[in-house]
Amino acid sequence: MLQQLDLFGGEPVQQVSKSSEPKKKPYIIKPPVQVVEEPPATVTEEPQASTLPESIDPVVMDAVPVSSPQIPEDAALDSKLYYPISEVANMFNVNISLLRYWEKEFDIIKPRKNRKGDRLFRPEDIRNLKLIHFLLKEKRYTIEGAKTFLKKGNKVKEKFEAIESLKKIRTFLLEMKSGLS
């Protein structure tokens, strides 16, 4: 017990020291709430055969890429010496950070950097990015799988160019087919 002296001549007052332990609140355990699911209703109607839009041909639907890059033709691509990273990201419909990541992972992408540190892609880099985009996004390769695929050499570029020319022929034929209808 502590005693406090009164400086003005009164009797000393005894103070009760407070314990430093906080008061504990009782913990109440509640039982879990049980969810009762109703059985699914029986369906008497027959499902419809197809819910595809009329504009999509079911045979061709598998070949349509998820996000096709909007890269200009070679002549238009070669018209500029350098493309900023934002413009290249818009061409491929990807984030700028993804292009930076691909730059770290793949040795064939080597954009120039100015004094400020901005990346400037040459048309050759964009063609390599187009190949990497094809392998990763359309063919669904992993990063390591795409790296080993690219190490095979010139056959990779020949196969890619053949696929690109076949895609152009396919779009031309689909346009002709829609024109006949």
Model confidence at 146: pLDDT above 80: yes
Backbone φ and ψ for 133, nearest 5 degrees, come out as -60, -40
Model confidence at 103: pLDDT above 90: yes
pTM of full prediction above 0.75: no
Sequence-distant (≥ 6) Cβ neighbours of residue 64 within 8 angstroms: 56
- Going by the DSSP 8-state scheme, the letter that residue 160 receives in this structure is H
pLDDT of residue 109: 92
Sequence-distant (≥ 6) Cβ neighbours of residue 131 within 8 angstroms: 150, 156, 157, 160
- Quick one: average pLDDT of 115-122? 93
Other CB atoms within 10 A of residue 52 CB: 10
Q: Which residue has the higher pLDDT, 166 or 69?
A: 166
pLDDT of residue 120: 95
- Quick one: average pLDDT of 6-33? 64
- Going by the DSSP 8-state scheme, the letter that residue 62 receives in this structure is G
